[in-house]
Structure 1
């Protein structure tokens, strides 16, 4: 998944916002909380996508080749895709959608209602 594809996919998820932070990283949020990040744009660098995941997914994914605990975010159960071939495009999209649901689910009920998210 390219950075443009990542941005286009995250943009279509409900109630998302996008900012560029931390040296040109593409950061996606729901309710002001980050659920996915795409960084890595230097010469020869492919995009490195990081996302929040469940405890079980974190345990499984970090044992898979090409996926690592996300730098600075691992203690919060974030994974970083280091190798583009580690996950299929469909699997990556499913994990990003799950990250969106996890973060949205932690928002206060009032905020979820204001954003039009399922309560």
Structure 2
């Protein structure tokens, strides 16, 4: 997944915001909380990090092209980094990014979810 596709996909999710920080990384948030980070440093392939459930973390960290996300996973959080092309297919990566968005959004207060159009009464 290239930078344009990553940013276009994340922009298409409900109530997202984008900042560039941490040395030029594209950081996507929902309700002010990070759900995806893509670093486009000097590596040949981007490191795309996203939140997962604890079960998915246990499974995905053992897969080729995937690893516990640097910094985030070392702090006890269930975050995975897709860092090599032999990792997830583009469609699977997009599904995990969408799920990360949903996981982070679910952690927001109900009031905040309503304000952002994430929760319909």
TM-score bracket relative to the smaller structure? over 0.9
Q: What displacement does 1:41 show?
A: 2.9
Question: Which runs of 4 or more aligned residues in structure 1 lie more than 6 Å from their structure 2 counterparts after TM superposition?
Answer: none
The 2-side partners of 1:63 and 1:86 are apart by 11
1:34-60 deviation per Cα after TM superposition (whole angstroms, max 9, x unaligned) = 000000332x52211000000111011
Aligned residue pair count: 118
1:95 aligns to what?
96
Q: What displacement does 1:73 show?
A: 0.5
1:4 aligns to what?
4
The alignment's TM-score, normalised by the length of structure 2, stands at 0.94
1:56 aligns to what?
55
1:117 aligns to what?
118
1:87-107 deviation per Cα after TM superposition (whole angstroms, max 9, x unaligned) = 001100000000000000000
Q: In structure 1, list runs of 5 or more residues that go unmatched.
A: none
Q: Give the secondary structure class of the aligned counterpart of 2:96.
A: helix
2:31 aligns to what?
31
The alignment's TM-score, normalised by the length of structure 1, stands at 0.95
2:79 aligns to what?
78
Q: What displacement does 1:12 show?
A: 0.1
